[in-house]
């Protein structure tokens, strides 16, 4: 059907689709959870906020799990090197995410205020920490991770946990938080009743949007002065998946080269800025649909910017450029990529269809009156 090069390109795009799918769906759940203690002060308000995402967050989280599975299936070397290389960071993310399902379900099981307040903290951590660490991880992917392969393709690391938090990576982390808080605030402006919670959400959303625009711009300037990577010589896009055959080098500002080579790629950062700005206009003018559409487009643009800047690199190595993982040296076999593509083409539309149906069933604003009256609300 497709040749190996094409399959790899398709799976690179699908990797982006997965990450964007995660940011657009579970992203607002993370943002809402991070906003929870600030936008909602009374218990009924908090329950209202929680119940805006209560029925659907679980399906959204599958984008994250599927991300893990799909990277394993399509990019096994990336799965192996990144998750073991970012070992402790991954543990922190998992621990925070583990608090989430339990927090949603268990918080409402007892009326005790101390109990509920503890779970509010758990939900806040479960929203803020993953949003921050994912951004920090993207920052580290851009600077390159300290790993190398031996002749058997076993991966070794030089880094430590604290070294992950370089100024640039922290900037990426805060940008990620700002982007998802904006997205969460936009979701709340659609889903909660008009009133104090709605007003606070729009205020925090506007601030987060401003911060996101600023950090995205500063990040771009920093990247221009930062080491990027480029492949030396020619590569065989249909060659064996073995990073030891790669020759790569570090070039200052190298991550901007793709935008000069392929000017159409500038659509991605343009979408990042324009979407975020539109979201802020939507929030300011109380146009909830515009706000949510804008924050979605903004998040998609920001994530796509990273992908476009790095292509064909997926995970460069900061200590051994030759160990860097690219679209051409880190994929599964053509057969596996082909099988997984067929499975995706068959099942992704089905998933999207019933997900849309689920949102339609739960359509409408959640009110404090409803959550305190109904037995099924969290």
Partner 1 sequence: MDPSVIDLSRLQFALTALYHFLFVPLTLGLSFMLVIMESVYVMTGRPVWRQVTRFWGKIFGINFVLGVATGLTMEFEFGTNWSYFSHYVGDIFGAPLAIEGLMAFFLEATFVGLMFFGWDRLSKLGHLIVTFMVALGTNLSALWILIANGWMQNPVGAAFNPETMRMEVTDFGAVVFNPVAQAKFVHTVSAGYVTASVVVLGISAFWLLKGRWLPVARRSMTVAAAFGLASSLSVVVLGDESGYALTDNQKMKLAAIEAAWHTAPAPAGLTIFGIPSMATRETRYEVQVPWVLGLIATRSLGGTVTGMSELVLQAQERIASGQVAYAAVQRLKADAKDAPARAAFEAHKRDLGYALLLKRYVADPAAATPAEVERAAWDTVPSVPVMFWAFRVMAAIGFAMIALFATAFVLCSLRLHMSVRWFLRAAVVAIPLPWVAIELGWIVAELGRQPWAIDGVLPTFLAASSLTPAMLLTTIAGFTLLYGTLAVIEVRLILAAVRHGPIEDEPALPADTHAPISAQPLAV
Applying the rule CB under 8 A, the residues between 336 and 355 that interact with partner 1 are 336, 339-340, 343-344, 347-348, 351, 354-355
Instruction: Give yes or no for residue 377 binding partner 1 (CB under 8 A).
Output: yes
Instruction: Give yes or no for residue 190 binding partner 1 (CB under 8 A).
Output: no
Nearer to partner 1, 159 or 220 (CB): 159
Nearer to partner 1, 28 or 216 (CB): 28
Nearer to partner 1, 61 or 258 (CB): 61
**Three-class SS state of 252:** strand
By CB under 8 A, the residues from 136 to 155 that bind partner 1 are 151-155
Site size toward partner 1 (CB under 8 A) is 76
Taking the C-alpha atoms of residue 229 and residue 185, their distance in angstroms, rounded to an integer, is 36
Instruction: Give yes or no for residue 81 binding partner 1 (CB under 8 A).
Output: yes
Report angle CA 197, 199, 201 to the nearest 5 degrees.
70
> Site for partner 1 (CB under 8 A): which residue of 4, 12, 28, 57?
57
> Site for partner 1 (CB under 8 A): which residue of 69, 247, 252, 262?
69
> Site for partner 1 (CB under 8 A): which residue of 13, 224, 232, 240?
240
Residues 6 or more apart in contact with residue 195 via CB below 8 angstroms: 368
Residues 187, 208: contact at Cβ < 8 Å?
Answer: no
Instruction: Give yes or no for residue 277 binding partner 1 (CB under 8 A).
Output: no
The two three-digit tokens of residue 325, written as one number: 């993982």
Instruction: Give yes or no for residue 224 binding partner 1 (CB under 8 A).
Output: no
Instruction: Give yes or no for residue 76 binding partner 1 (CB under 8 A).
Output: yes
Binding part of the chain for partner 1, among 79-87, 163-171, 178-186, 311-319 by CB under 8 A, reads 79-87
CB of 339 to partner 1, least distance (A): 5
Q: At what angle do helices 288-310 and 196-224 cross, to 10 degrees?
A: 20
> Which long-range contacts (C-beta less than 8 Å, at least 24 apart) are formed by 230-237?
230/254, 230/257, 231/312, 231/326, 235/312, 235/326, 235/328, 235/329, 236/328, 237/4, 237/5, 237/8, 237/327, 237/328
By CB under 8 A, the residues from 96 to 115 that bind partner 1 are 97-102, 104-106, 109-111
Instruction: Give yes or no for residue 163 binding partner 1 (CB under 8 A).
Output: no
> Site for partner 1 (CB under 8 A): which residue of 22, 48, 82, 181?
82
**Three-class SS state of 258:** helix
Tokens 């808080």 belong to: 181
CB of 165 to partner 1, least distance (A): 17
Q: Which of 378, 358, 182 is nearest to 284 (CA)?
A: 182
CB of 75 to partner 1, least distance (A): 8
Chain centre distance of CA 373: 35
SS3 of 167-188: the string is HHHHHHHHHHHHHHHHHHHHHH
Tokens 């979701």 belong to: 187
Instruction: Give yes or no for residue 214 binding partner 1 (CB under 8 A).
Output: no
Residues 107, 378: contact at Cβ < 8 Å?
Answer: yes
Instruction: Give yes or no for residue 249 binding partner 1 (CB under 8 A).
Output: no
Q: Which of 327, 332, 306 is nearest to 143 (CA)?
A: 306
Nearer to partner 1, 199 or 236 (CB): 236
The two three-digit tokens of residue 196, written as one number: 């104090």
Taking the C-alpha atoms of residue 20 and residue 308, their distance in angstroms, rounded to an integer, is 13
Instruction: Give yes or no for residue 87 binding partner 1 (CB under 8 A).
Output: yes
Instruction: Give yes or no for residue 373 binding partner 1 (CB under 8 A).
Output: yes
Instruction: Give yes or no for residue 13 binding partner 1 (CB under 8 A).
Output: no
């Amino acid at each position: 059907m497709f040749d190996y090069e094409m399959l790899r390109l398709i799976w690179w795009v699908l990797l982006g689709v997965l990450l964007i799918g995660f940011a657009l769906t579970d992203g607002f759940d993370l943002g809402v959870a991070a906003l929870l203690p600030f936008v909602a002060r009374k218990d009924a308000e908090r329950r209202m906020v929680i119940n805006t995402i209560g029925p659907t967050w679980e399906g959204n989280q599958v984008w994250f799990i599927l991300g893990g599975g799909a990277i394993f299936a399509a990019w096994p070397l990336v799965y192996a090197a990144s998750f073991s290389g970012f070992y402790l960071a991954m543990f922190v993310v998992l621990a925070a995410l583990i608090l989430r399902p339990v927090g949603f379900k268990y918080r409402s099981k007892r009326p005790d205020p101390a109990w509920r307040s503890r779970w509010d903290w758990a939900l806040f951590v479960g929203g803020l920490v993953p949003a921050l660490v994912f951004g920090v991880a993207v920052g580290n992917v851009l600077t390159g991770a300290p790993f190398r392969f031996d002749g058997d393709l076993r991966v070794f690391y030089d880094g430590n946990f604290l070294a992950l938090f370089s100024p640039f990576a922290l900037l990426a982390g805060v940008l990620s938080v700002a982007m998802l808080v904006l997205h969460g605030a936009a979701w709340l402006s659609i889903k909660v009743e008009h009133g104090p919670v709605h007003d606070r959400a729009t205020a925090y959303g506007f601030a987060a949007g401003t911060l996101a625009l600023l950090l995205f711009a500063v990040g771009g300037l920093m990247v221009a002065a930062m080491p990027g990577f480029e492949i030396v010589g020619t590569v065989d896009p249909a060659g064996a998946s073995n990073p030891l055959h790669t020759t790569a080098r570090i070039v200052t500002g190298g991550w901007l080269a793709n935008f000069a080579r392929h000017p159409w790629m500038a659509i991605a950062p343009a979408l990042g800025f324009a979407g975020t700005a539109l979201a802020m206009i939507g929030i300011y003018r109380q146009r909830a649909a515009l706000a949510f559409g804008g924050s979605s487009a903004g998040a998609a643009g920001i994530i796509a910017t990273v992908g476009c800047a790095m292509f064909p690199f997926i995970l460069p190595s900061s200590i051994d450029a030759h160990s860097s993982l690219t679209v051409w040296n880190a994929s599964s076999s053509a057969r596996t990529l082909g099988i997984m593509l067929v499975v995706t083409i068959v099942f992704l539309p089905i998933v999207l269809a019933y997900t849309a149906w689920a949102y339609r069933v739960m359509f409408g604003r959640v009110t404090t009156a409803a959550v305190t009256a109904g037995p099924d609300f969290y």
